[in-house]
Amino acid sequence: MQIIFHGQSCFEFHNEGHQLIIDPFLRGNSLAKAKPEEIEAKWILLTHGHGDHLGDTIEIAKRNKATVIAPFELATWISWQGVDVHPLHIGGACSFDFGRVKLTQAFHGSAHIDEEKKEIVYTGMPAGILLTLGEKTIYHAGDTGLFSDMKLIGLQNDIELALLPIGDNFTMGPEDALLAAEWVGAKRVIPMHYNTFPLIEQNAEDFVQQLKGKKINGMVVKPGESIQL
């Protein structure tokens, strides 16, 4: 399995001929190396409706004739934009030809914000994602603060890789993310949702060193880089 990080919370997955992308925020993402028109994906997974996660979803989905998997209210709004969707909600799971998706809770907000019209459209509860591809499960925490049920997520799932926000201000900061990493119990942790904007600047290398101090295998993946899992 190949995983490409595009900055913020955007990860692209290539596994057994299937191509997926989570939270495809590329245009307007100062760290992204890829452009929306370069993304080839048949499945788009979304954690919530904020612009730095919804991002270029509609453009990518229409060009690729992709299906968007998202929390119900967000999926409904996206369907009104002429895109195929599969709605899920927290605690619910569904199997697809590429693998299995289950949504977890996340403590955050979720809305589509139109700055020109000064309108905010509520897009339901935010979520995290448990993505199982083959025999491996990846936990994408979405935008969230620390919550104790992360212990249950770790107990109920054999998590190969956890993708955890560390940016602070809008999500967990590094200190809480360290505790989240312990509770989730993943074999490997990659930090996300940092350095895209001044308010969420963090030292990811320092975070990974602190993970190692807790005997947790962490790694920094720079935008545009990929790993094999």
- DSSP, residue by residue, 134-150: TTEEEEE--S----TTH
3-state helix, strand, coil split of the chain in percent (to 5) is 25, 30, 45
How does pLDDT run across 119-136, given as a tens digit for each residue? 999 999 999 999 999 999
Nearest to residue 27, comparing CAs of 6, 48, 42? 6
CATH class of 2-228: alpha beta
Say if CB 158 and CB 187 are below 8 A apart. Answer: no
Residue 21 has a pLDDT of: 98
CA 207 to chain centre: 19
Residue 43 has a pLDDT of: 98
Res. 70 pLDDT band, cuts 50 70 90: very high
Mean predicted confidence (pLDDT) in 150-168: 98
How does pLDDT run across 88-111, given as a tens digit for each residue? 999 999 999 999 999 999 999 999
Mean predicted confidence (pLDDT) in 61-72: 98
Q: How many CB atoms neighbour CB 94 within 10 A?
A: 12
Angle, CA of 49, 103 and 47, to the nearest 5°: 20
Q: Where are the domains of the chain?
A: 2-228
Residue 25 has a pLDDT of: 98
Mean predicted confidence (pLDDT) in 187-200: 98
